[in-house]
Amino acid sequence: MLSGNVPLAIMGGAAAVTSNLSGSDLVLIGSLRKTSSLSFLVTTKDISRPEQLKGKILGIDRYGGAGDFILRLVLEKLGLNPDKDVTIRQVEQSPLRLAALQAGIIQGTTLSAEDKVAADKLGLPLLLDVRKLGVEFLGADIVATRRMIKTDEATVRRFMKALVEGIRYYKTHKVETMQTMVCYMKVKDTALIEAGYEFNVQEYQRKPYPSVGGIQVSLEQISQTNPKAKNVNVERFFDARFVRELDQSGFIDGLYK
């Protein structure tokens, strides 16, 4: 994106915020959802309360990634210090984390809706639905450069218009959407596909405004290691005008009539 090879991306917005702090012109122009895909904290069977996580080993995909960021924030919201009260271990992708959890090598991890289906089959209990914490997360955000916005606003407008139309289709055409997901995700287990679909149907915003709360949460986390994130104007990290135009014109509401 910074080189100009990619004009727009749907990505973890926290990376864009970090890049912006370092001097880039990356900004969020929208957010598909304000919750994380890793919304399910699953543990071994001996853990039934958050305080029992103390002293335990928790697994993530990789250090510095979205899973690491989300797990640390969740632990803080539960009153635990992620650096002192638990050990966070890099275990890589979800199949390996599930295997490690089943074997007791780790005692907890955050999973997606699809992975939770597998965890349920293994009898691994859900400790927390992270969405109940009421915290906004960045994770499925529409990112552009201010340079691209300035030089090609027409493309950004067409993209955002197509995106809100796609969200409407996704929410109102379950069978066709699941067929498309099966085709492109190369997953034949319809239970997994349906779990992911139902999660996104609930979480995708009809009006995908940038998650200002998610940006603020990201800045709070980043500020622990980067002083540039302290006392910075949050408006520097997003541009909501393209969603706002579609909203105020009545275009989005009209899609659902």
Q: What is the pLDDT of residues 182-239, one digit of tens each?
A: 999 888 888 999 999 999 999 999 999 999 999 999 999 889 888 989 989 999 999 9
Which of 109, 104, 73, 70 shows the shortest CA–CA distance to 89? 109
Does 182 lie in the same domain as 66?
no
Model pTM score: 0.88
Does 120 lie in the same domain as 23?
no
Residue 2 maps to a domain: no
Question: pLDDT, tens digit, for every residue of 20-77?
Answer: 999 999 999 999 999 988 999 999 999 999 999 999 999 999 887 778 888 998 999 9
Q: What is the CATH number for 87?
A: 3.40.190.10
The band of 88, judged by pLDDT with boundaries at 50, 70 and 90, is: very high
Residue 1 maps to a domain: no
Q: How many domains does the chain have?
A: 2
Distance of CA 138 to the CA centre of its chain: 5
Residue 198 maps to a domain: yes
Does 122 lie in the same domain as 99?
yes
Does 64 lie in the same domain as 27?
no
